[in-house]
Structure 1
Amino acid sequence: MVSFGQSSGVPDPVSLPALQAKSLFLTRPTLFHYTVTQDELLETAGDVFANVASGVLRVRVNHTYSLSEAAQAHADLENRRTSGSVVLIP
């Protein structure tokens, strides 16, 4: 089981015996467990952007708003009417 982000709040408690029964484990990684220095962070970011540029990774944009709709975009985010990426278009 992997938990990332917490836009819905802190995750509910998990029963360790329930995980143990099936040899399952829980992880909640953060970027800074994998990159320590700024150079490592820049290298990792460069790898991600290169993979996006080459098509290995695809960026899915779920919602777009014109810049004039920025207030509506913020309202939708605050009221949890969005999921995934939200992009303002100038």
Structure 2
Amino acid sequence: MIDYSDPGLDLAQAVRDATGGRGVDVAYDGVGKATFDASLASLRPRGMLVLFGGASGQVPPFDLQRLNSAGSVFVTRPTLGHYLQDREELLWRADEVLGAVADGSLRVEIGGRYPLAEAAQAYADLEGRRTTGKLLLLPTATLVE
């Protein structure tokens, strides 16, 4: 685990140090603008950066030559709708994910349960980085620890 928010940290160097200088096969980046350059620099040759969010803002346009100089790396910006184009694909993917949850090979971490009336607090806690895992908003009658 590397805390990318540490102002004195060179994130790409920390990743390279952790991989013996090789870099990672895939970097999944949900932060965006603040971490994009470091994520790109932490890839091994022919690695892939999967940019799936923009919590810190959207990545500005960049020179595609950077992909070449970084080691012929790939960048993708997936959108859920492109992976669920019809009902058949939705059911197939849902079966894969829910099957993995059911057989225990994928564990879903519940980080907090909030009554629906406290949805604003749940969002504030999420935004303030006071949570881990998934947050559940529940009708008050079903709120059980």
TM-score, scaled to structure 2: 0.50
Q: CA 1:36/1:71 → structure 2, altered by over 3 Å: closer, same or farther?
A: closer
Tell me the amino acid that sits aligned with residue 39 of structure 1.
E
**2:19 alignment counterpart:** none
Other-structure match for 1:14 = 62
Q: Alpha carbon RMSD of aligned pairs, Å?
A: 2.3
d(CA) in 1 for partners of 2:80, 2:97: 13
The CA distance in 2 between the partners of 1:54 and 1:38, in whole Å, is 24
Q: Which has the higher contact order (CA 8 A, sep 6+)?
A: 1
Q: Quick one: structure 1 residues 86 and 15, their matched pair in 2 at CA, closer, same or farther if it must change by over 3 Å? A: farther
Deviates more, 1:26-35 or 1:68-77: 68-77
Q: Give the stretch that moved more between structures: 47-56 or 68-77.
A: 68-77
Q: How many residues align?
A: 87
Partner of 2:128: 81
Correspondence for 1:31: 80
The one-letter amino acid of 2:57's match is: G
Per the normalisation by structure 1, the TM-score is: 0.73
Cα 1:35–1:66, aligned 2, differ >3 Å: closer, same or farther? closer
Higher strand share: 2
Residues 44 and 59 of structure 1, relative CA distance in 2, 3 Å threshold: same
Identity across the alignment (%): 44
Contact 2:108 2:133 in 1 (8 A): no
